[in-house]
Amino acid sequence: MDNKGKILVIDDNEDVLFALHALLSPYVGKVKVSTQPEKIQKFIEEYQPDIILLDMNFQKDAISGKEGFYWLDKILNIDSQSIVVLMTAYSDTDKAVQAIKAGATDFIPKPWEKEKLLATIHSGIRLRESQKEVSLLKNRMEVLNADTAYEIIGESEAMQKTFSLIEKLAGTDANILILGENGTGKDLIARTIHNLSPRSKEVFVSIDLGGISESLFESELFGYEKGAFTDAKKDKPGRMEVASGGTLFLDEIANLSLPMQAKMLTAIEKKQISRLGSTKNIPIDVRFISATNADIYQAVEDVRFRQDLLYRINTIEIHIPALRERGNDVVLLAEYFLKKFGLKYKKDIQNLSHDAKRKLSAYNWPGNVRELQNTVERAVILSSDRFLKADDFVLAQTEGRKHKDKEVLNLQIIEQEAVEKALNRSNGNLNKAAEMLGISRFALYRKINRK
C-alpha cells in the first residue's frame, strides 16, 4: 500500500480501536479512531475520511447489528458516496449481504485477518480515488459545457419541424438517434436536447466513434483498472461512468464494430458496465443520444449494424435536413457567422452584398453548415471591405476547380490557394494553418493581410 487515504474507525471497544490504529497507521495516510458514532457528521465534514470502518454492535453483547445499520444510514445520508466497511464479531453471511444491500461497500468479520483487512482497505482507497476522478472529470466537462453558448439559427420550414420535435421530446428521457449529413448540426442539436432535458444540470459527455481505434474506444468508453494493459498505470473511469446521471452523445455510431456493438448493447440493456481488467459491475444511469451520417438501416440490412442495438438507441429519431433544403437559412446563417467572425477577428464588416447572398444561396453546400461556417470565416479573414462580395467567397465545388484545366504556374496564385486551403482545412485556426504551410504564424498573418 502506498500510504494514502484517511481512515476513520468507529467502535465502542477501546482495545479494538487501539489495535486497529496500530495496525493500519503504517499502511495508510492517517487513522482517526472514536467510540462516538454521534459525532459522525462532524468527523465527515472536518476530517473527510476516505473510508469509515464501522462497528455493527455498539452495546456489549449486542448481535443484531441494528445500531450499525442505523449509523450506516446516517453516514450515507450525509454523503451517499461514502465508503463504509462494517465490522462485526459475529461472522454472518446474511448480515454481510444485508449490509451491502444497505449501502456498505464491504464487510469484515472480527477478529480480522491482517492481510484480508489491508486488502479491503486498499480496494476501498482505490474506489475512493476513482470516485474522485469521476467527479473531477464531470466537473471539467460541466465547465467546458458551461462556457459555450449554443445558438441554433433556422427559420425554414424544415428546421421549424425539427425544433418542434425537439420541444416535444424535451421533457422525456428517451434515447434519441439523430440522422443527417456531415456538418448539418447533429452535435449542436444533441447538446440542445440535453440542455432542455431533466438532466440539464448533469454532465453532457460526448465521444466520436469515427475518430478512434477499437481498442482505444473500449478503454475510453468503459474505463480500465490499473494493469489491465501495459499503459494502464492507474485506474481510469470511462465516459459511460462519467456520464452517469447525465447524457452520453455517441457520434458516428454506425462506425462501431460488431464486437463493440455487442458490448454497448449489454451496457444499455443492463444499465451497468465493468472496466477493462475488472469483473466488478458499475451501475450507470445514462441517457443516450446517438448520431450518424450513414444509412444505418442499410447497415442493418448488410449485417454491419445490429438491429437490436438500433432499436435500443432510436426510441425517437430526428432527421436534420441538409442545408440546401433550408431555403433562406443559408443567408441567415451566413449573416450570423459574419457577425461572429467579425468580432473574433476584429473586422468591421457590415453585411453581405446582394450578389454574395445570391451566390451562397445558389450553391449546394455538400459540407452543410460547417462548410458555410468555414467559408464565411475565410472570407472575413481575407477581406478588408465593409461588405462581403460574391468574389470573397471561394466555394469548393465550383471555384476550387477553376484552374484545373489550365496549369497554373503563377507563384502568387499558387501561394494564395495554398493559404486558403490551409485555412479551410484548419477551420480557420491560424496556428494549425501555419504549421500545414510550414511557415510561422506571423508570416501567415502577413500573407493574409497582403491580399
Ligand X SMILES: Nc1ncnc2c1ncn2[C@@H]1O[C@H](COP(=O)(O)OP(=O)(O)OP(=O)(O)O)[C@@H](O)[C@H]1O
Q: Which residues bind ligand X (CB under 6 A)?
A: 151-154, 180, 182-188, 251, 293, 333, 369-370, 373
Contact 186, 333 (CB under 8 A): no
Beta carbon of residue 297, minimum distance to ligand X (angstroms, whole number): 18
Between 88 and 373, name the residue whose CB sits nearer to ligand X: 373
Q: Which amino acid is at 10?
A: I
CB atoms under 10 Å from CB of 123, counted, come to 16
Between 210 and 400, name the residue whose CB sits nearer to ligand X: 210
Between 187 and 218, name the residue whose CB sits nearer to ligand X: 187
Report the C-alpha gap between 354 and 357 in whole angstroms. 5
Between 182 and 266, name the residue whose CB sits nearer to ligand X: 182
Question: What's the Cα-to-Cα distance from 159 to each of 126, 249, 326, 336, 392, rounded to whole Å?
Answer: 48, 21, 7, 16, 28
Q: Which helix (H) or strand (E) holds 139?
A: helix 114-146
Beta carbon of residue 269, minimum distance to ligand X (angstroms, whole number): 26
Between 333 and 448, name the residue whose CB sits nearer to ligand X: 333
Beta carbon of residue 337, minimum distance to ligand X (angstroms, whole number): 8
Between 10 and 369, name the residue whose CB sits nearer to ligand X: 369
* Residue 18, phi then psi, degrees to nearest 5: -60, -45
Beta carbon of residue 238, minimum distance to ligand X (angstroms, whole number): 21
Contact 51, 86 (CB under 8 A): no
Beta carbon of residue 239, minimum distance to ligand X (angstroms, whole number): 17
Distance of CA 157 to the CA centre of its chain: 32
Beta carbon of residue 325, minimum distance to ligand X (angstroms, whole number): 13
Between 152 and 165, name the residue whose CB sits nearer to ligand X: 152
Beta carbon of residue 176, minimum distance to ligand X (angstroms, whole number): 14
Beta carbon of residue 364, minimum distance to ligand X (angstroms, whole number): 17
User: How does 369-387 read in b/e, with b if 16+ C-beta sit within 10 Å?
Assistant: bbbbbbbbbbbbbbbeeee
Strand ordering across the sheet containing 176-179: 204-208, 247-251, 287-292, 176-179, 316-319
H-helix segments, 345-440: 354-362, 368-382, 411-425, 430-437
- In the three-class reduction of DSSP (H, G, I as helix; E, B as strand; rest coil), residue 426 is classed as coil
Minimal CB distance residue for ligand X: 185
Contact 321, 327 (CB under 8 A): no
The three cell numbers locating residue 68: 450499525
Between 105 and 293, name the residue whose CB sits nearer to ligand X: 293
